[in-house]
Amino acid sequence: MEAAKMVVCLKWKTPDGEEQCEWRFRHGKIHEFFIAQTFLGKDNRRAVKHLKDPRFRGVYLLLALLLEPEQAQTLRDMLVEHAAATHDHSVSDDFVTLLKKRQNAEKARDHRSRDVA
């Protein structure tokens, strides 16, 4: 990951002078990408578990693009219900927008492939 510049080593010294290295993702988007992978899969409960945690906002937005269509629709419904209950639309609104764009792009691609065939 270091060679691909996805992570950086933050170096520091302990009080007794020993050099330490702590690996960090270079950017939050990379971090979110790898976390999103752990949310994938049928019957995965992580999306429900972290629904109220704002630190996962970017992960949920990636899931709009990564989940199977049916799973994405189910998550969309959960996010909309959560937004209605909490009056916090910071995730649900962008999720709905991204999912709609994805659906439109898939329809256009399918339509083009039928026209070509």
Tens-of-pLDDT digits for all 117 residues of the chain?
777 777 888 888 889 989 998 888 777 688 888 889 999 988 889 988 998 888 899 999 999 999 999 999 999 999 999 999 999 998 999 999 999 999 999 988 888 877 776
Pairing assessment for the beta strands 19-25 and 7-13 based on DSSP bridges: antiparallel
Quote the tokens at residue 115.
Answer: 């026209």
Residue 89, pLDDT score:
93
Residue 43, pLDDT score:
86
For the chain, give every domain's residue range.
1-27, 38-116
d(CA 86, CA 84): 6
d(CA 102, CA 106): 6
